[in-house]
Structure 1
Amino acid sequence: MKQWLLQKRWRVLLAGFLTVALPLVGLTLYVYMQVLAEFEKIGLQEIQTFFNLAVYHTEEKINDDISSGKIFASRPQLLEALQKSDRKTVHENLKDLLENLTNMERAAITNRNGIMLANYPEDQRVIGMDFSFRDWYRGVSNKWEPYVSDFFLIETRPPRYLFVIAVPIRGKSGEIAAVLVLQPKEDYLKNILAEMRIGNSFIYAVDKHGNLIYHPQYTLDRVVDFSKMPAVDKVKKGVAGIEQNYDTMHKERIISAFRPMKWGWGVIMQRPSEEVFHHSGEIALGLFSLAAAFLILGGIVAYKGAGLLFAYHRLSLELQEKEIHEREMKEMLRTELAEHLQTGQKLAETMAELERSNKDLEQFAYVASHDLQEPLRKITGFIDLLEKRYGGRFDQEAAGYIHYVVDGAKRMQTLINDLLAYCRIGTRGKPFLQTDFNNVLMHVLADLGKTIESRGAEITYDPMPTLRADDLQIGQVFQNLISNAIKFCRDVQPRIHIGARYEGDEWIFSVSDNGIGIKRDFFDRIFVMFQRLHTQTEYPGTGIGLAVCKKIVERHGGNIWVESEVGKGATFYFSIPGRQQGE
């Protein structure tokens, strides 16, 4: 026995070392891959959310200018001046328009056939010229609706690449009287997109042909073809998404978010992959350093084990087997302890990263909401200007335009508030205290009293328990579900029942209605932010309410789901862990 052990000493030592080292290396690689995947998911979600806000901001900015042009086109004094061919008054109106639209550098009016009547700043050379061949005239005259033109080069020094907004001007009886043409300033898109960035990212835009219309790194005094870029090629095909690829210009890996817009444009956001995943290198270094330490420890343990084996070779075979068995048990316990320590350390690191991520998300939501207030301030200022200048002289059509502006402002404010509420669920929630759900439900029904009374809703409910919870957030869940139940019972008297029952170790609450119901294919989709099954005209809303409910319920350790058939109503369930107080 002794001779055999001496001959196989290095083989025994190597076998012991591999037995300890290989599982540790495998575990380290597994943990690294899982953490890296989670960081990649969070990084892509952050880019997608910010990019969606940037696109929404751009579309709203252009829509605001179209709305301003429509309001201007309905001025009674402008219509009267056009009817009388009073070029001086038309010119003064154009001047007044540009003084209020600071992002426009030129305005003009043609007759319905595209012949130039007046412009500001005034250029007599183009008065009387025929512009019916221009893309903007063909576009606006196609259906006589506002039109945003293709980008085109104009022969200036240096040449400029620009677009125009064309708005039809209708007479009092609805006939087409003229066309208003607005030419934005050269830095129009730059002012919208330049500051919409996160880290070292930037946003650029292309037209329907794939040519650049804005890029922070290009001077657009010529046509720059970007159609061969992978993200631009997808936008031309009407595809939206986010992907990783290689930037041949900067020789680096990038993440590109892309989406087609109205008017045939496309918007692309580009951010270096290294910036998004910079934590992965630090994590890898830490994990592999830990793995190296465990390898050394494994080698020492294996070496010491082999030394013990040779030191006690003279003992009887029974004692040797018993000692080997005890050593294997100790080794197993040591490995399990090391795994628990490693798991605890990674959990602490993950929690710290999540806390930092929540703080970054809250700051991001604040900045985004602050930037989105600009359209609201512009709308409010323009309405004040209209009221000061024209007072009660608005006709029905002008009043309709004002209603359109106010309604847009309200919807945008609601969207901002809902988005902020969603972002702050986890960071601004109250500590869980003993909460009487009966009181919470009564407060919600009182708040919805006018809505319930106006719809003639019949509401019944079961006795509610007292559980540890955040009373404000639970109230928000009840309010969102009951409001939806009333809203989607449009053609019948709403009959709603709020139930509560105890199953296993959790309470299951339900809100049932007799509304229009939901297709099974949409059961999961409705809990995703901004996912709507109906148009704004059919059923108003922002598409965030159920996502807020899901996040609140998950914060309480529960789940939320729906059961429904089309035309037979829907029942929304959510669970909250815990026992009734006193049980």
Structure 2
Amino acid sequence: MLHGSRWFYAVVATLLLVVFVGVALFFVRAADVEEREYLAQNDAIARSVAASIEAREQGYLDVLRSYAGRFRFRESVKHLDAKEALVHLRQLHQMFPELDRVFLADPAGNVWVTEPETPEIYGRSYAFRDWYRGVSASWQPYMSEIYETDIGHASAVALAMPIHDGDGRVIGILASVQSLDVLRRWLLPIQIPGGDVFVVDRKGQLVFHRTRVGVQHLADYVNVPVVRRLLEGRDGMAELANPVDGEVNLSAYRWLPSLGWGVVVHR
């Protein structure tokens, strides 16, 4: 009788163990499926946000390219005719008032006319700026890293376009300046259920973050794992730690090579 009871309890214990293991496996698989779904959703959102940002900046780039190709504008640049050049710069700024400033520099990086006009910087060399180093490296359009402007001391980025003469010779640089505040107002309406989005530049500095605002926070995420992956030019999805916020997030990240920016959606 005692032997039969032990056998019965052993069978019950085995069955309970099987049930517990089965339940545990079910929850593990369910959690894995949920994680994959979250990552897929994050990736879809990241792709959408990245496409919107790229389309917006590509629009500005196309406008700069169009102006750089205008014959009269090119002639004013070639002859350093500030009066004629200002006619075109004012028209450009009126069309896109969200741009803080548009300006012209010579091939050596010396600014010679701006809209709005700031004669105090005319003739000043900006060859040390990233926008100049980037555009002059191969004389292709270039989005700069974040920098502090001389006028207003605002955090901003500059989109620089080389201007070529009819024979292909570089005769100047047309650039537009966008403050991070303007970019922030454009990106703030984006809502991620249960999560958020942030954008970094080619150095890992925060172009946009919902709560980390101001120059003191620009470099907060430079060494965060997902940002390091972006700066390697990688796209992907992963569960990654954010030691700055003390969180582990399901993140989707997209690199925008045309801008040198990275987009992260996390939950």
TM band (smaller chain): 0.7 to 0.9
Tell me the CA shift for residue 103 of structure 1. 3.1
Q: Indicate the structure (1 or 2) with the bigger Cα radius of gyration.
A: 1
Confirm whether residue 181 of structure 1 aligns to residue 175 of structure 2.
yes
Q: Specify the SS of the correspondent of 2:57.
A: helix
Confirm whether residue 89 of structure 1 aligns to residue 84 of structure 2.
yes
Q: Distance in 2 between matches of 1:162 and 1:185?
A: 4
Contact kept, 8 Å, 1:136 with 1:150, in 2: the verdict is: yes
Contact kept, 8 Å, 1:161 with 1:213, in 2: the verdict is: no
* Residue matched to 1:213: 207
> CA deviation digits over 1:152-207, x for unaligned, max 9?
223566x4322211112223443333211110133343245434442132222233
Q: Distance in 2 between matches of 1:132 and 1:191?
A: 30
Q: Distance in 2 between matches of 1:25 and 1:18?
A: 10
For structure 2, list consecutive stretches of 5 or more residues without a partner in the other structure. Answer: none
Q: Relative to structure 1, is the Cα distance of residues 251 and 141 closer, same or farther in structure 2, using a 3 angstrom cutoff?
A: closer
Q: Specify the SS of the correspondent of 1:114.
A: coil
Tell me the CA shift for residue 240 of structure 1. 2.6
Q: Relative to structure 1, is the Cα distance of residues 124 and 40 closer, same or farther in structure 2, using a 3 angstrom cutoff?
A: same
* Residue matched to 2:98: 103
* Residue matched to 1:433: none
Contact kept, 8 Å, 1:51 with 1:257, in 2: the verdict is: yes
Contact kept, 8 Å, 2:225 with 2:241, in 1: the verdict is: no
Q: Distance in 1 between matches of 2:40 and 2:225?
A: 20
Q: Distance in 2 between matches of 1:242 and 1:50?
A: 12
Matches within 5 A, 1:56-455: 56-83=51-78, 85-154=80-149, 159-191=153-185, 193-222=187-216, 223-262=218-257, 263-271=259-267
Tell me the CA shift for residue 123 of structure 1. 0.9
Contact kept, 8 Å, 1:194 with 1:203, in 2: the verdict is: no
Count of residues in Structure 1 that have an aligned counterpart in Structure 2: 265
Q: Distance in 2 between matches of 1:42 and 1:49?
A: 11
Question: Which stretch shifts more, 105-114 or 261-270?
Answer: 261-270
* Residue matched to 2:50: 55
Q: Specify the SS of the correspondent of 1:184.
A: strand
Q: Distance in 2 between matches of 1:87 and 1:116?
A: 11
Matches within 5 A, 1:534-545: none
Q: Distance in 2 between matches of 1:260 and 1:239?
A: 6
Contact kept, 8 Å, 2:109 with 2:126, in 1: the verdict is: yes
- TM-score, with length taken from structure 1: 0.41
Q: Relative to structure 1, is the Cα distance of residues 201 and 80 closer, same or farther in structure 2, using a 3 angstrom cutoff?
A: same
Q: Distance in 2 between matches of 1:16 and 1:133?
A: 79
Higher relative contact order (CA 8 A, sep 6+): 2
Matches within 5 A, 1:33-44: 33-44=28-39
Q: Specify the SS of the correspondent of 1:163.
A: strand
Q: Distance in 2 between matches of 1:30 and 1:115?
A: 66
Contact kept, 8 Å, 2:93 with 2:102, in 1: the verdict is: yes
Q: Specify the SS of the correspondent of 1:187.
A: helix
Tell me the CA shift for residue 110 of structure 1. 1.9
Tell me the CA shift for residue 70 of structure 1. 0.5
> CA deviation digits over 1:481-503, x for unaligned, max 9?
xxxxxxxxxxxxxxxxxxxxxxx
Q: Relative to structure 1, is the Cα distance of residues 200 and 231 closer, same or farther in structure 2, using a 3 angstrom cutoff?
A: same
Q: Distance in 2 between matches of 1:83 and 1:230?
A: 47
Structure with the higher fraction of residues in strand conformation = 2
Contact kept, 8 Å, 1:112 with 1:177, in 2: the verdict is: yes
Q: Relative to structure 1, is the Cα distance of residues 127 and 48 closer, same or farther in structure 2, using a 3 angstrom cutoff?
A: same
Tell me the CA shift for residue 71 of structure 1. 0.4
Contact kept, 8 Å, 1:108 with 1:180, in 2: the verdict is: yes
Q: Distance in 2 between matches of 1:238 and 1:116?
A: 32
Contact kept, 8 Å, 1:55 with 1:267, in 2: the verdict is: yes
Letter in 1 for 2:183: L
> CA deviation digits over 1:210-234, x for unaligned, max 9?
3333222122324424232111222
Question: Which stretch shifts more, 198-207 or 18-27?
Answer: 18-27
For structure 1, list consecutive stretches of 5 or more residues without a partner in the other structure. Answer: 272-583
Q: Specify the SS of the correspondent of 2:215.
A: coil
Letter in 2 for 1:151: I
Q: Relative to structure 1, is the Cα distance of residues 245 and 186 closer, same or farther in structure 2, using a 3 angstrom cutoff?
A: closer
Q: Distance in 1 between matches of 2:14 and 2:159?
A: 73
- TM-score, with length taken from structure 2: 0.84
Q: Relative to structure 1, is the Cα distance of residues 25 and 220 closer, same or farther in structure 2, using a 3 angstrom cutoff?
A: same
Letter in 1 for 2:165: G
Contact kept, 8 Å, 1:194 with 1:202, in 2: the verdict is: no
Letter in 1 for 2:256: M
Q: Distance in 2 between matches of 1:244 and 1:187?
A: 30
Contact kept, 8 Å, 1:210 with 1:232, in 2: the verdict is: yes
Q: Relative to structure 1, is the Cα distance of residues 19 and 236 closer, same or farther in structure 2, using a 3 angstrom cutoff?
A: closer
